[in-house]
Structure 1
Amino acid sequence: MKISIVFSIIMALLLLLSACNTIEGQKDNSETSVAETISENVPSDIKERFCDSERLRVYRMNDGSIKAYVDEWGKEYDLPSTFINDSEKITGCGGSISKVGDNIYYTLVEETSETTIAIRTAKLSKGADKAVCGNTDVDVNCVSMESGDVFGFDPESLDIGFYEEDHGALFFGDNLAERHIVVMKTTDGGMTWVKAGDDSNLKSLNYHSRLIFAKFINDNEGMASFCYFGHSDMCQHTFVTVDGGKTWKHLSVDYGDYPPIDSGGEDGCSYEVRALDVENGVYKLTLKRYNSTKDLPDVYMTSDRIDSGYSFSETEPSGISVRIGDSETLSLCCMKDGSTKACVAGWGKEYELPSMFVADPEDSSSRTIRACFLGDSIYITNIEKTGDATVVIKSAKLSKNSDKAVCGNTDVELNCVYLDDEPFSFEPQSAWLSFYEDDHGALFLGDNYLTRHLTVLKTADGGVTWAKAGDDSNLKTDSWHEWVDFAKFVSENEGMVSYSYYGYEEMCDRTFVTIDGGKTWKKLSVDYDSNTPADTPDDGCAYEATSLDVENGVYKLTLRRYNGRINLPDVYMTSDRIDSGYKFTE
């Protein structure tokens, strides 16, 4: 399938590892710019952190009070101490933040039973010194299965957004076979929420299809879409309303010469709605495309109405902009003349890369692009699979004080054998890039077999050449379901790799450290004290290491916690060495 476009976008997936400490888990539905850095004026008497983003910080203090800080406005607000009752029941990854004009709406959903939730919203206004707060208890007693099972709230199927002052919508889903969605609306800034209307047909056809996009653009018009599964038609799991959510119907589009395929293969693709924007009366859908297991460049559809009439648009951006560090923006694109360009907006510079930096711009499955920002340099790698156990690594170093990119090309054979004599099979999603000092970096490449083995390569010349770091034969997990959560070197000798949890196995069994530059790896050692991880979801929580930072000789681990099917607030461990001695910190 080929749609005529001005440029062939060559970034399908870009994971960023930077020297900056990024804040994860906050859901931000506004497009308004924010202050680029978080204030250093963080209170010392924090008991719990609920929200720690650039736009808003919300903490429970040691005295039981709850404070909200908006650094952009230089303001501090008091929230009711009962705004958050049981932090272990809060869903939505720490809350949802929407900014409309000079107002910020912070919304939390707390699960009170399988069929009841409490919606709590705080409205913070730039022109006011006090927060306005609301609390709505909701009984979601709809029946979403023919068997008569009651609604079972699923914290991961939650989307909240305000589209004009004091007007917003909340979508939340169940955990049953058809993934039904309930829609609530507010017109008083979240003080009260009521059911929008009849959403009985707002459901997916499969348990594996979760809500992936939900948005109201005004009081009457909204859209909700589930992710694809089994190459189902996008319109079957995308719904629109034109009466404020009172009723919902399926989206209608005109695929023209590019209809979706009914099954995976090389002869077409499936579509998935990821965004809806409206400008000058034109509705624009951003569609993600899949071809079997491959991600293809996004395409776009436009219409003069929200519910139907969409057709493919020839207008696409010249590249995909992604955030590097705190403020720099990188665009990487392949031009019609065959050249490859890299632009850094923060520097006002454009760099030309070798035309073969991307072998086939139309085939996104042939490349895996990663980028890392360090000081005044950006390191880009393109990993192209040339065989089951061989890859070629193409690298480019962009420097702020130079007009030319420094590029390299390294063929690598990943010839380890560890599973029934099967060779290494590169998995593009398991690739991590980490630069820790000028021109010194590491590349972690994962496989697609049951034990998720990682191979570690290092460079000392900015990526011009790469070589195997050492013996990584034990750098693997016990389950195919575990993915690399983070992989990072903090110095030439010290590095850490951690896999996601599955089945409540102990964090140290899936977190590895090296103190000799990757020549050998061993498992992490921590002191849980009285906070030991649980073996089952009913008697505690499981931990997952998500980041590692070092400051003044102190190593700080950020741990995500799970209790059954809900996320708990992050906790932290510190030590004076990378491999052991970690204890919980207040």
Structure 2
Amino acid sequence: MKLKKEIATLLLASTLLTASLTACQQTPDGGTEIGNNTTPEITTIETTPEITTIETTPQTPPETTTPEPPSTDAINFEHPIVGENITCSLFTLPEDIYKWEKRSGTGVYTFVYNDDFDNHYFYVKDWDQAFKITDETNATHVHDVLVTDDYLYVLAEFDPYFMNKTYPWIKVITMKIDKSGAILESHINEFEWETRPFSSPHIDYNLYSPDQFYILYTEEGEADTATANDNWQIQVYESTDMGKTWSPKGEPFGGTDGYLQTWDFLLTRDCGYFVYIRDELTHQYDVYTTIDGGGTWQLQPFSCVDPNGEYFVKFNGIIVVNDKYVASFKAEKKLEGKGDEEEKVTFICKSTDFTEWTLTATRTDNSPSPYEEYLGIDYDVRRNFIDDQIGYTFVFYWDTEFLTFLKTTDGGKTWERQPIIDAPKSSMHLGIDDAQMFTESTGFIKKLWHGDGKIYVTTDGGRTWERPDYGAPKTDEEYGYDEELSIEYVDGKYVLSVRHRGESFSYITQHESTDLKSWKLVQPRNTIPCNGTHSDGIHYIIHEDGNLILYIPEWHQFFIVPKRDDMYIIEDVLDSCSAVLSETEGTLFFRDFSPDDKPISLIQFTRWNTEVTIRPLNLPEGNYSYEQKYCNFIDEKTGYLFLLGGPNDIQLHHFFKTTDGGETWVEQPVETSPSIYWKEDIICAKMLDEQVGCIFGSHHANDDLSSKTYVSADGGKTWHKVGSSIELGSVEAYDFTYENGEYIIFLRTARGLGAKKIPRYLVSTDLENWKLVIHPENSTNIYSTECISSYFPSYSVYPAKVLYKYEYREDGNVFLQIDAWNQTVALPFTYTDINWEFARAATIYGDKGIFVYHPDGLGKSIKILSFTKGSNEITEQTITWDKPINENEIFCDFIDDENGYIFVIEEGGHPDFASGYEKVSKLYKTQDGGKTWTSIDCSNAPYTNLRECMILAKFATADIGIIAGRHWASDYSFHERTYITKDGGLTWIPVDLSNFFDSSPDKDWGIQAYDLQYIDGTYYLYVQAVHEGADKPCYLFTSSDGVEWSYLKKVD
């Protein structure tokens, strides 16, 4: 459960924290810019036993360039703590605590009260007392606790990184608390380094006894997004006086050209380990161990594992069981003559002294293991106790569906394997997000989200597991997906929370059961369908079980409409519902697909009442065919219903009126119907009063606004176009009103900026004569902004580099806001002067910038606007062509102060194929900083096999460049959509990496190039594996000639 993971991380989840890995600067040639690998300073603050709050005096940080050795003497506090008060108080343990979890081996429980994640709550079982630790900054995280007969010891960390990333320090806080909640003793120790790392350093904590605390400190250096590598260093500190002073154990240990992946420090008081990754792609790693509490570290060869080098081996971890150390390794090898089939095994080694290791077991992935002592090191473990004596452990094995389930009845002294007849399947090998037993009979398991993220329940003590039948989930693109968050057990009831996500909605429902078998939908707790479909103030979303959830933001009220066999609320509800909402009553009209062909039904509901009424709309008998419907009321009694559809152009098929609040409807005569292009959608159909109404169609292929915009002045009897011809480009009408004696039609852009409102209106006093106005005159209010980015896609592992934003204002003028220059430049056109559907691009380099766009809206020319920092002058250059270019993209940038380029990419044009291909149609270069541009011959440019678009087009030097297609071209290999040029764009060479990623299209389609550099005679090509999960790993390849490529390393 994600929520529990967050709680466990922020509060107390484990004494063994996962490493926070961060890259540092690396040059493309493999060298490293060394960060700060020195021992951090420690400053110590002592407090008297009577002090229960930590108070500090802010001072200016000292200016030091060389870190001093760790200090064990108390000195004045030299850096400000943002939060100066940390307090502890007694807390009454509530009966309905949200969540609590036993801290293994400590006798302490952590819990969350009333969704309060800012404070820390502890319950000491032996004392039967709860405590609340408060820090006003919310930046102090408790990492470990220790309980003796009389005292509670707490070790916490204050890290200001999340408040101000410039602070080059963190603080370690230790506290001694008695049973009354008084802080008898507290210490703050400051860890400082010369330069703030890219992210917070990793610190691991262990409290072994009141006189022996440990800290493992790692410093990871800076990160460079283009050439990532790590300088890493670890240092162990020990305190024997409850954190009053800290002393380093041994010398700092570290290196370069690699990174730390994980460690468990310490497994015991003296023994621990960490893993150093030399190359993750090829599983090259080293395991270092310590037997003196981190004073010294030794490379552990594990020579007993795969001594003949037959397998591809990966280290899995070490645990301590019955005074023995158990190490696990995963291994695999290709089976000769069986294609891609692999043999997978697990090696188990044991040691009694942490230095000499013996191979004790080898098992295949799919075979249950008899070795209880190494349970947990293969992949994932969850453990919970239901009382002082009875507890459960869940163990899942890597790359298998195998589950081991253990039970203890003596508080954890001994464990017994429980029989499992039917274990959860389907991607369970990817691990678990949560697992818990509620009673000796009931419990649940939640699989990791990137498997299928589903929950399984048991009602027979774990012998069998099955999915909770609360409703069939929808997982396709149209409906989005369901993420089952958790199951809670409260007052004898099980509550299942499910998050429903889609492109346009996200909301949570809860389902209740008393036996984990029969479920019912209950009121959502506190989450609404915030981005769901809405109409006139009503948000509505169909639940996967057929129920409909309504939310009225104005009322702050939910309504749940249960599914009925005689009524079918399907996807049409999400497409074309109409609604009427007053202060106390609401009605939702929807198309009904019930067996008796009722054309329309309605749902009525009242404020402050959870009941809803569902009934068919009382229309006159008849056969009503329609595709779209709209309904609106002009007062509490009078309303109108529009039924529109084909089969050819969209027309008003039926038009109804009610004068009794919807009880009865009378069809109105329509003599002259609108006729709107059949590919359009109806955006608005409504009556303003009993005489005047409108029907507006969306923009599709016809730029004549009047042909899709109709009004009526005789109660809907006749409909006529607004004007004879109104050419405004990609614009559509979306609303209609009457103010101050004028009828106003509101316009918006249909495409480009995403159907946003524009400051233009059609205005008339008689519904016959219309004029286009800008209102108010000369307004400088900013109406909308949009970022213009460099060629990196927004979903790339490296975020798009935002160069500047353009703003269009109510007076129609467009401005460039250049954040890097702190400057705004007025562009020489208004918003409606250009067609925003056509490509545009921009870049800034030093003190110069260019904006490239199509000025004519026909694709027959480009205009280059050049401007400089500190000046409002703009130089315009226009380049025209003999024939228009099809749908296209533009890429532009400068290589240096003088040399720059502009790519114009065209879709289509292939002599044998009408679509699916792109090529460089036009290429222009400048050698004088953009003053003049020269056309480059593109006749030899390749047709790249694409289904989507170009992702990269750039020059690394004046002659060496690259064009690359997006990975979505799923049936084409990398070399069919990635080319480089070495002669300035005259000829192009395909880039073939099939030897590294497999030559078949289904293997290397998911990779795409995202950068090319040329440094000192070497090509550096950066490739992103977009299809490999959420991490999207990146790899760096080199070449001396641009033809033969070699893999260099993985780029983090």
| TM-score relative to the length of structure 2 | 0.32
What pairs up with 1:120-269 in 2 under 5 angstroms? 136-137=447-448, 176=476, 178-185=478-485, 197=497, 211=503, 214=506, 220-223=526-529, 259=684, 261=697, 264-265=700-701, 266=703, 267=705
Using the TM superposition, give the Cα deviation of residue 413 of structure 1 relative to its aligned residue in structure 2, in angstroms. 0.8
Using the TM superposition, give the Cα deviation of residue 557 of structure 1 relative to its aligned residue in structure 2, in angstroms. 1.5
The equivalent of 2:836 in structure 1 is 364
Alpha-carbon distance in 2 for matches of 1:371, 1:187: 51
The equivalent of 2:824 in structure 1 is 350
Instruction: Give the 3 Å change call, closer, same or farther, for CA 512–427 of structure 1 in structure 2.
Output: same
**Does the residue aligned with 1:444 lie in a helix, a strand or coil?**
strand
Instruction: Give the 3 Å change call, closer, same or farther, for CA 379–111 of structure 1 in structure 2.
Output: farther
Are positions 1:557 and 2:1021 aligned together? yes
The equivalent of 2:893 in structure 1 is 434
What pairs up with 1:446-485 in 2 under 5 angstroms? 446-449=905-908, 450=915, 451-460=917-926, 461-479=928-946, 481-485=947-951
Alpha-carbon distance in 1 for matches of 2:886, 2:1047: 36
Unaligned 5+ segments in structure 1 are 1-19, 22-30, 50-57, 66-79, 87-109, 122-133, 143-149, 152-172, 189-193, 204-209, 228-233, 272-288, 301-313, 416-423
* Greater relative CO, 1 or 2 (CA 8 Å, sep 6+): 1
Alpha-carbon distance in 2 for matches of 1:32, 1:317: 32
The equivalent of 1:95 in structure 2 is none
The equivalent of 2:855 in structure 1 is 384
The equivalent of 1:106 in structure 2 is none
State the AA in 2 paired with 1:545.
A
Deviation digits for residues 274-313 of structure 1 (CA, Å, limit 9, x no counterpart): xxxxxxxxxxxxxxx873x65446359xxxxxxxxxxxxx
Alpha-carbon distance in 1 for matches of 2:1038, 2:1045: 5
Instruction: Give the 3 Å change call, closer, same or farther, for CA 296–454 of structure 1 in structure 2.
Output: same
Deviation digits for residues 85-110 of structure 1 (CA, Å, limit 9, x no counterpart): 99xxxxxxxxxxxxxxxxxxxxxxx9
The equivalent of 2:609 in structure 1 is none
State the AA in 1 paired with 2:230.
V
Contact preservation (8 Å) 1:296, 1:363: no
Are positions 1:581 and 2:1039 aligned together? no
The equivalent of 1:487 in structure 2 is 953
Using the TM superposition, give the Cα deviation of residue 484 of structure 1 relative to its aligned residue in structure 2, in angstroms. 0.6
Using the TM superposition, give the Cα deviation of residue 360 of structure 1 relative to its aligned residue in structure 2, in angstroms. 2.3
Instruction: Give the 3 Å change call, closer, same or farther, for CA 186–558 of structure 1 in structure 2.
Output: farther
Identity of aligned residues (%): 13
**Does the residue aligned with 1:437 lie in a helix, a strand or coil?**
coil
Using the TM superposition, give the Cα deviation of residue 435 of structure 1 relative to its aligned residue in structure 2, in angstroms. 1.8
Contact preservation (8 Å) 1:183, 1:195: no
Alpha-carbon distance in 2 for matches of 1:531, 1:485: 20
Deviation digits for residues 433-467 of structure 1 (CA, Å, limit 9, x no counterpart): 22212243222222232222222322324445444
Contact preservation (8 Å) 1:407, 1:463: no
State the AA in 2 paired with 1:182.
D
Which of 375, 397, 408 is residue 846 of structure 2 equivalent to?
375
What pairs up with 1:245-324 in 2 under 5 angstroms? 259=684, 261=697, 264-265=700-701, 266=703, 267=705, 291=750, 294-296=752-754, 298-299=756-757, 317=783, 319-320=785-786
Alpha-carbon distance in 2 for matches of 1:523, 1:576: 14
**Does the residue aligned with 2:832 lie in a helix, a strand or coil?**
coil
Using the TM superposition, give the Cα deviation of residue 541 of structure 1 relative to its aligned residue in structure 2, in angstroms. 6.3
The equivalent of 2:881 in structure 1 is 413
Instruction: Give the 3 Å change call, closer, same or farther, for CA 568–321 of structure 1 in structure 2.
Output: closer
Using the TM superposition, give the Cα deviation of residue 372 of structure 1 relative to its aligned residue in structure 2, in angstroms. 1.5
The equivalent of 2:192 in structure 1 is none
What pairs up with 1:32-51 in 2 under 5 angstroms? 39=223, 42-43=230-231, 44-46=256-258
Contact preservation (8 Å) 1:215, 1:223: yes
The equivalent of 2:866 in structure 1 is 396
State the AA in 2 paired with 1:63.
Y
State the AA in 2 paired with 1:570.
C
Instruction: Give the 3 Å change call, closer, same or farther, for CA 363–341 of structure 1 in structure 2.
Output: same
**Does the residue aligned with 1:573 lie in a helix, a strand or coil?**
strand
Alpha-carbon distance in 1 for matches of 2:848, 2:815: 16
Instruction: Give the 3 Å change call, closer, same or farther, for CA 469–327 of structure 1 in structure 2.
Output: closer
The equivalent of 2:60 in structure 1 is none
Contact preservation (8 Å) 1:558, 1:570: yes
**Does the residue aligned with 2:984 lie in a helix, a strand or coil?**
coil
State the AA in 2 paired with 1:393.
K
Using the TM superposition, give the Cα deviation of residue 371 of structure 1 relative to its aligned residue in structure 2, in angstroms. 1.7
Contact preservation (8 Å) 1:397, 1:463: no
State the AA in 2 paired with 1:375.
G
Instruction: Give the 3 Å change call, closer, same or farther, for CA 508–179 of structure 1 in structure 2.
Output: same
Alpha-carbon distance in 2 for matches of 1:316, 1:215: 32
Contact preservation (8 Å) 1:220, 1:245: no
Using the TM superposition, give the Cα deviation of residue 368 of structure 1 relative to its aligned residue in structure 2, in angstroms. 3.2
Using the TM superposition, give the Cα deviation of residue 46 of structure 1 relative to its aligned residue in structure 2, in angstroms. 3.9
Using the TM superposition, give the Cα deviation of residue 140 of structure 1 relative to its aligned residue in structure 2, in angstroms. 5.2
Contact preservation (8 Å) 1:330, 1:344: yes
> How many residues align structurally?
403
Which of 544, 549, 569 is residue 1033 of structure 2 equivalent to?
569
Greater radius of gyration (CA): 2
Using the TM superposition, give the Cα deviation of residue 487 of structure 1 relative to its aligned residue in structure 2, in angstroms. 0.5
Using the TM superposition, give the Cα deviation of residue 211 of structure 1 relative to its aligned residue in structure 2, in angstroms. 2.5
Alpha-carbon distance in 1 for matches of 2:1006, 2:820: 40
Alpha-carbon distance in 2 for matches of 1:33, 1:414: 56
Contact preservation (8 Å) 1:533, 1:541: no
Instruction: Give the 3 Å change call, closer, same or farther, for CA 475–411 of structure 1 in structure 2.
Output: same
**Does the residue aligned with 1:197 lie in a helix, a strand or coil?**
strand
Deviation digits for residues 358-406 of structure 1 (CA, Å, limit 9, x no counterpart): 57258533x5331213233333222335435x1232323332xx32344
Contact preservation (8 Å) 2:923, 2:938: no
The equivalent of 1:497 in structure 2 is 963
Alpha-carbon distance in 2 for matches of 1:508, 1:432: 21
Which of 278, 285, 288 is residue 63 of structure 1 equivalent to?
285
State the AA in 1 paired with 2:880.
V
Deviation digits for residues 328-379 of structure 1 (CA, Å, limit 9, x no counterpart): 76232345556543332343323333x33x57258533x5331213233333
Alpha-carbon distance in 1 for matches of 2:495, 2:1010: 37
What pairs up with 1:486-565 in 2 under 5 angstroms? 486-501=952-967, 502-518=969-985, 520-526=986-992, 528-529=994-995, 531-536=997-1002, 542-561=1006-1025
Alpha-carbon distance in 2 for matches of 1:573, 1:395: 37
Alpha-carbon distance in 1 for matches of 2:483, 2:560: 11
Alpha-carbon distance in 2 for matches of 1:187, 1:527: 47
Using the TM superposition, give the Cα deviation of residue 517 of structure 1 relative to its aligned residue in structure 2, in angstroms. 1.6
Deviation digits for residues 67-99 of structure 1 (CA, Å, limit 9, x no counterpart): xxxxxxxxxxxxx968xx99xxxxxxxxxxxxx
Deviation digits for residues 418-438 of structure 1 (CA, Å, limit 9, x no counterpart): xxxxxx63324x222222122
Superposed CA RMSD in Å reads: 5.7
Alpha-carbon distance in 2 for matches of 1:527, 1:434: 27
The equivalent of 2:806 in structure 1 is 332
Contact preservation (8 Å) 2:475, 2:482: no
State the AA in 1 paired with 2:867.
K
Alpha-carbon distance in 2 for matches of 1:443, 1:294: 22
Alpha-carbon distance in 1 for matches of 2:260, 2:856: 45
**Does the residue aligned with 1:364 lie in a helix, a strand or coil?**
coil
Using the TM superposition, give the Cα deviation of residue 182 of structure 1 relative to its aligned residue in structure 2, in angstroms. 0.7
